[in-house]
Amino acid sequence: MKKYSYPYLLTLAIAVVAAIFGFFAWRNMIYRPTFLSHAAFRYMVMTALAMTVVVCFALRKRFAANISTRTEYLKAWCGMALGMVFVFSALFTTLTWLLPGVESTYTAPYRYSSGGSRSCSGASVYDRDLDEEIRICEPSGNLYSGRTLRVIKRTNALGMVVIDATTFP
């Protein structure tokens, strides 16, 4: 297929729209209810940095003509490291969501968290397994009257996935 033809343009446009739709579907269905453990987060960052070093050495000779100073090399490495962290964050989050685990239920007090342009409204609740406060987006029930939340979650080696959350009066 020639790069200046209409079928190529249509294929490219459909691929871009599908990628954008896939990203927003992934963010709402997988990223928001999934929480990584502290150890999995450390492994993710170390793996991303190690892969950055490997890719940097693999591409060093190919792009040697374009990078002449050490500051340009440092900028290229930092850009690759940031990109790798985003890629491995998506990979680890999706793996946490896909892996089976032990389902458990707990009840805890919560406080209402309003949403902004980049976050959802929901309940902030302390999770004992992760040892941090997590935000559960849009739990069922009346979010304003009760202050107790029942959380059903699936815990595995990489973290946890919130399956359901319901408020109690």
Q: What is the mean pLDDT of each run of 10 residues along the chain (169 residues)?
A: 82 96 94 94 95 85 70 85 94 96 94 82 90 90 84 94 90
Asked if residues 34 and 93 have their Cβ atoms less than 8 Å apart, the reply is yes
pLDDT score at 114: 85
pLDDT score at 65: 61
HSE at residue 93, side-chain half, CA atoms within 13 A, is: 17
The sign one gets for the Cα dihedral 160, 166, 167, 169 is negative
Going across the sheet that includes 159-168, the strands are 34-36, 159-168, 148-155, 102-113, 122-127, 132-137
pLDDT score at 55: 87
- Give every CB contact of residue 41 below 8 A, 6+ residues apart in sequence: 92
pLDDT score at 37: 93
Asked if residues 149 and 108 have their Cβ atoms less than 8 Å apart, the reply is yes
